[in-house]
Amino acid sequence: MTRLDKPLEFQPVPLDTKRPPEMKTLEKLVGDWETHVGIKTKGKEAEGKVLLKLIARPILGGRMIESIEGGLPGVKDKYWLCAFDANRRSYRIWHFNAKGDVTTLGGGWDEKAQTLVWNQAYPSGQTRIDTWRWPSADRFEGTTIMRDAVGKTVTEVQFTSTRKGK
């Protein structure tokens, strides 16, 4: 290998016409978003609300959506990928943050309700459910609920994302 003296410039790969049709659901995420977040931990509301910036783009011929998110206190940046896994017949998402945490969730789409629900069960017995709903093309909102091993809610996050520009 030889180190280059300047970064490579990559051209986006055109959308693959044979990608799973379920990717149309995730394409709703593509764009630049401003997100208002409220967090409650163990029943106590966190101080103030948080404003995040989110940029989501299709990659790998539109077979995945790549997102970069910034602004959450204590977590400098988040990077996530989501796709439809045709082998498992489910939506998948992988979250990575600057602290080194990795979260993987699986989910399903309800067309009538325009809602995507993500789930994860941890070895500790804790569970996580994320619900994303699209009331319009330029707005999506959701909740994340974390429960301990006996089902008690320990963290609840609510957010509203608004598309910026077109």
**43 Ramachandran zone, left/alpha/beta (phi>0; psi -120 to 50):** left
Domains of the chain in sequence order: 23-163 (2.40.128.20)
Distance CA(137)–CA(99), nearest Å, equals 32
CA angle 45, 48, 53 (to 5 degrees): 115
Q: State pLDDT tens for residues 41-77.
A: 776 665 556 778 899 999 999 999 999 988 766 556 8
Mean pLDDT over each residue of the chain, to the nearest integer: 89
> 131 pLDDT exceeds 70?
yes
- The one-letter code for the residue type at 137 is A
> 89 pLDDT exceeds 60?
yes
pLDDT of amino acid 44: 65
Distance CA(68)–CA(53), nearest Å, equals 8
Q: Which of 32-46, 56-70, 113-127, 151-165 has the lowest mean pLDDT?
A: 32-46
Contact predicate 94/104, CB 8 Å: yes
> 25 pLDDT exceeds 90?
yes
> 118 pLDDT exceeds 60?
yes
> 32 pLDDT exceeds 60?
yes
Alpha-helical runs (H) found in 75-126? none
pLDDT of amino acid 87: 94
